[in-house]
Structure 1
Amino acid sequence: MDTMVNILLVHGRSRPLFGPVEMKQQWVVALRSGFDAAGIEAPFTDEDVRLPWYGGNLKHLVGGVARAEAERVSLRGDLPVDEREFVRDVVAAVGESFAFTPEQLEAVTGSADTGSGSEDWGRVRTVLAAVDRYVPGMSGATVAFVARECFGYLTDARLRQMIDDGVAQAAPTGGPVVVLGHSLGAVIAYHVLRAHPAAESWDVPLLLTMGAPLAWQPVIQALGRLETRRMPTPVRSWVNARDARDAVAIGGLVGGLLPAGDVVEEPGVVNPDDGRHAIEYYLADPVVARHIARVAG
């Protein structure tokens, strides 16, 4: 394949054990494996892949504490009222999407309610416990944790600007760039492309979101308060790839964030049970490779 593409990879959940160099190495390997699985020559070199790193800022979004403690806080619900309501509404939507039966919820209610701290949070903990038990490869803590990261990014203007500026500065210049956004990174990618002044001059033949929480109504509403929701001007095509068992990526974008016809939905990704939401598995899916190859060809 003669045509090469620049790739901007916008990451989501922070991984404190890995820095930007290690993360990029792992994710480029995963992306290349997807091209191998699809039988397509990868249209990029390692240098063509840019990874803006803001892992330190993500820690601040959930209180600046260690990941394990942040997840415990998320499950206990020891949160400010507005953040608590945001997470509660996200978890309610997740429960509706998976349609847990009353019997399933009752089976996990005892342990989920322990130490809930309030009447309404008991239901939240029950649904998160149901995710743990009945959705292979997913964690209730992951759902609450990503919801809190989204809340922090969407409501803290200073941190949002720091992250957006970092993403914009890392973008390749002088040619088309494929933007890949995973988890919170999908929200960040959309907002940067929609609202950052630097992005106005970009040429983005493909925005590909993976495991995106962009169907969560609290996220949609918060984005609507920041600017009018519409297809970002620099983006020529948008593909939303999701695993149906990824609780962060419930539902599609059509009719929620954007009107029908603006986004191509790819709901057929099937990640392994040890990581339904894992970026490595999304990047390694041949579906992702084929869409990148399409715009590179």
Structure 2
Amino acid sequence: MASILLVHGRSRPLFGPAQMREQWLVALRSGFEAAGIDAPFADEDVRLPWYGDSLTHLVGGVTRAEAERVSLRGHLHAGEREFVLDVVVQVARAYNFSAAQLAAVAAPDDEGAAPPSWGYVRTVLAAVDRYVPGMTGATVAFVARECYGYLTDTRLRQMIDDGVAGVVRAGEPTVVLAHSLGAVIAYHVLRAHPAGESWRIPLLVTLGAPLAWQAVITALGRLEIRQFPRPVVNWVNARDPQDAVAIGGDLVGSLLPVGAGLPDVLEETGVVNPEDGRHAIEYYLADPLVAAHVARALG
């Protein structure tokens, strides 16, 4: 029997490891139920390494309101500002916001703002709020800033990587489910951690992954050669087309090279999450398409 490893993104306020693990388990079991499949795992087969407390400072505050104020003010150092701006420009292109749409949501001080001004960032994030049901501009900003912190802070990255690697058992088949920032963490750990030579990963499922954001791709390229992680047999990238964190196209051809004989990534674009949470992990895990992929790997 394979075990399941859950690799999370930012914790919700007041969430701890026990609450998050329970949320993921409930959602995953509901996905199996929706697919008409008996859940082929026991609770003790599921592990969730916790690093949520280490992520709160990356976005400037424990509460969402505090973090959102920091993001919208743009009081960030130059490298982080450039990273977030690159993400926002890519999101604006993906949704093809018109000049009229941007003008309709721009604050008075931000009217006519263009890159690289922070007024443009605020305007695009407001456009996400207005025109993309179930998606918020704050989520885009939060995930972008988390990714920047993880990818540029060596000590933080090493601590998180070692925590994730420490719960993978050598030689034991392990299905990895990774959401949002957790998808970036899972890719990097599986691709580059020294312990990975002894791992057996029949399936990696990335959910709402920012791995096609060009800013993330560039930053990962500074850490290692981008390629399919060696311990992984199959990789499914599940994305709701309206999830702004998961935009950017297929991972092969953006994050990963294209070529004859190279491993492929199955792009599961049939996921359609409810409009009250396009990026929400509980909806991704509850999707029967995702459950079917997990069931095959566990079975």
- AA aligned to 2:174 is V
Task: Indicate which of 70, 73, 77 corresponds to 2:70.
Answer: 73
2:10 aligned residue:
13
**CA RMSD, 1 decimal:** 1.6
What are the residue-to-residue correspondences of 1:208-247 with 2, within 5 Å? 208-247=205-244
Structure 1 unmatched ranges of 5 or more: none
**Conserved in 1, the CA contact under 8 Å of 2:4 and 2:175?**
yes
Question: How far apart are the structure 2 equivalents of 1:24 and 1:31?
Answer: 10
Question: How far apart are the structure 2 equivalents of 1:67 and 1:173?
Answer: 38
Moved over 3 A (4+): 63-67
Question: How far apart are the structure 2 equivalents of 1:185 and 1:112?
Answer: 36
Question: How far apart are the structure 2 equivalents of 1:93 and 1:295?
Answer: 34
Question: How far apart are the structure 2 equivalents of 1:207 and 1:24?
Answer: 18
Question: How far apart are the structure 2 equivalents of 1:159 and 1:204?
Answer: 25
What are the residue-to-residue correspondences of 1:101-250 with 2, within 5 Å? 101-110=98-107, 113=110, 120-250=117-247
**Conserved in 2, the CA contact under 8 Å of 1:212 and 1:242?**
yes
TM-score (norm. length: structure 1):
0.94
- AA aligned to 1:223 is L
Q: Residues 53 and 236 of structure 1: is their aligned pair in 2 closer, same or farther, counting only changes over 3 Å?
A: same
C-alpha deviation, 1:174, in angstroms = 4.3
Question: How far apart are the structure 1 equivalents of 2:19 and 2:104?
Answer: 41
- AA aligned to 2:280 is A
C-alpha deviation, 1:294, in angstroms = 1.4
User: What SS is found at the alignment partner of 1:204?
Assistant: strand
What are the residue-to-residue correspondences of 1:211-290 with 2, within 5 Å? 211-250=208-247, 251-260=249-258, 262-290=264-292
**Conserved in 2, the CA contact under 8 Å of 1:8 and 1:172?**
no
TM-score (norm. length: structure 2):
0.94
Bigger shift: residues 226-235 or 243-252? 243-252
Q: Residues 139 and 44 of structure 1: is their aligned pair in 2 closer, same or farther, counting only changes over 3 Å?
A: same
2:96 aligned residue:
99
Bigger shift: residues 10-19 or 137-146? 10-19
How many aligned positions are there?
292
1:90 aligned residue:
87
C-alpha deviation, 1:111, in angstroms = 5.5
**Conserved in 2, the CA contact under 8 Å of 1:9 and 1:179?**
yes
1:33 aligned residue:
30
**Conserved in 1, the CA contact under 8 Å of 2:180 and 2:208?**
yes
**Conserved in 2, the CA contact under 8 Å of 1:6 and 1:172?**
no
**Conserved in 2, the CA contact under 8 Å of 1:193 and 1:200?**
no
2:43 aligned residue:
46
Structure 2 unmatched ranges of 5 or more: none
